[in-house]
């Protein structure tokens, strides 16, 4: 099983300031088809998760461009260029390169 490790687990941020969440996998997420199936989800309080980024850096439809994803191999990052109040929630990275699919522990983003 691929273990996904996120840091930090808590990220207090000031409105308008940037934030970054790191996600590291225990093995390479490069699939045999050449794709890297690493995605990022946002879960606002009391809501189901929402897809933000898929295949490392592809922003899903309707996601604000202040969200961006990067990385390769085993190291990945989600960046929020300027945090807004609606960005409060828990962020998860997840891999779908190998079964079982696995999630990171989640990073709680809150406003200072």
Contacts of 61 (CB under 8 A, 6+ apart): none
x/- mask, other proteins, residues 57-86, rule CB under 8 A, reads: -x-x--------------------------
User: Tokens 């273990």 belong to which residue?
Assistant: 3
**Nearest distance, CB of residue 42 and other proteins, angstroms:** 11
The DSSP bridge partners found for residue 11 are 109
Q: Is 25 in the site for other proteins (CB under 8 A)?
A: no
Query: Cα–Cα distance between 67 and 73 in angstroms, integer?
Result: 20
| Site residues for other proteins per CB under 8 A | 1, 35, 37, 39, 41, 43, 48-51, 53-55, 58, 60, 90, 92, 94, 96-97, 99-106
């Amino acid at each position: 099983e691929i273990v996904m490790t996120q840091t930090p687990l808590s990220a207090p941020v000031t409105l308008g300031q940037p934030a970054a969440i790191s996600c590291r996998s225990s093995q390479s997420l490069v699939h045999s088809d050449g794709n890297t199936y690493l995605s990022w989800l946002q879960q606002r309080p009391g809501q189901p998760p929402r897809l933000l980024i898929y295949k490392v850096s592809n922003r899903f439809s309707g996601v604000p461009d202040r969200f961006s994803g990067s990385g390769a191999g085993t190291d990945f990052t989600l960046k929020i260029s300027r945090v807004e109040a609606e960005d409060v929630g828990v962020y998860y990275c997840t891999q779908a390169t190998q079964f079982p699919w696995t999630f990171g522990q989640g990073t709680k983003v809150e406003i200072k």
